Structures are given as C-alpha cells and as structure tokens.
C-alpha cells in the first residue's frame, strides 16, 4: 500500500464511489473537533487533540471509526445495530453515516481528554 502524506491523498486513493462518504465523515469529525489536528497514522486519517482523538479507515464492507476507550462502552446503547469492539465502530457502506451520533462520540472523547488533562 502506498504511503500517503495527508488525508486528502488518503481519500483520493479510495474508490471513487466511496470518497463522498469519507469526505462526509471527515467533515463531521472536523465540525465536532475544530481544534483537532489532522494527520495520517497507521495509513488512516487521524485526529489529534491533546493526544489521540479518533481515527477512521475504509474497509471492504465498512468504514471503521476508531476511538480510544471507554467511549464505545459508555455509548453502547446508542450503538446498537452497529458492529463494535472496545474501541471500534463499523459503519456499513450501504447505510448513511449517523452524523449526530458520530459528533456526540467525538465530543465525548474530547471531554474525556479534557478531564484527564485537568487531573495532570
């Protein structure tokens, strides 16, 4: 797999018919976390805000949103219907992205980071 330099290139190298979904997810994350810095890490889009905020990547059947623990566990009732692990949510490619839910998760992660930062 080709090393990409930024999220624009990462999206541009994705299948044409799915680029709009990746762009939409990117905008959702950026609107929820306007102070986050955008990078590439592990070949995926990565957002940093005082540490690891969130990653996303395209797979054959889904877009994975990777968000450090305990966010998925704390929102498991809202995530019913999505395949999840401790730090992963898989959004099926044939369904609309749940923008409000994604924003809520990203903001919850920002709040966790800020809480931990205050304790330092």
In the chain, domain spans: 7-119
Show Cβ contacts of residue 95 under 8 Å, excluding neighbours closer than 6 positions: none
Class of domain 7-119: alpha beta
- Confidence at 18, pLDDT banded by 50, 70, 90: very high
Phi, psi at residue 83, to the nearest 5°?
A: -75, 130
- Confidence at 1, pLDDT banded by 50, 70, 90: low
Mean of the per-residue pLDDT values for the chain?
Answer: 95
pLDDT in tens, 60-83: 999 999 999 999 999 999 999 999
CA atoms within 13 Å, Cβ hemisphere of 65: 29
What is the model's pLDDT at position 84?
A: 98
Alpha helices in the chain (DSSP H): 7-12, 19-32, 71-74, 99-119
Q: Residue written as tokens 């990078």?
A: 39
pLDDT in tens, 85-120: 999 999 999 999 999 999 999 999 999 999 988 887
């Amino acid at each position: 797999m080709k090393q990409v330099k930024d999220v624009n290139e990462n999206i541009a190298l994705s299948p044409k018919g799915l680029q709009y979904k990746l762009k939409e997810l990117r905008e959702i994350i950026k609107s929820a976390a306007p102070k986050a810095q955008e990078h590439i890490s592990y070949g995926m889009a990565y957002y940093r805000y005082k540490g690891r905020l969130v990653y996303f990547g395209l797979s054959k059947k889904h877009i994975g949103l990777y968000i450090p623990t305990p966010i998925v566990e704390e929102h498991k009732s809202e995530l019913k219907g999505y395949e999840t692990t401790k730090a992963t949510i898989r959004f099926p490619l044939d369904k609309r992205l749940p923008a409000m839910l994604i924003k809520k998760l990203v903001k919850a992660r920002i709040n966790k980071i800020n809480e931990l930062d205050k304790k330092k």
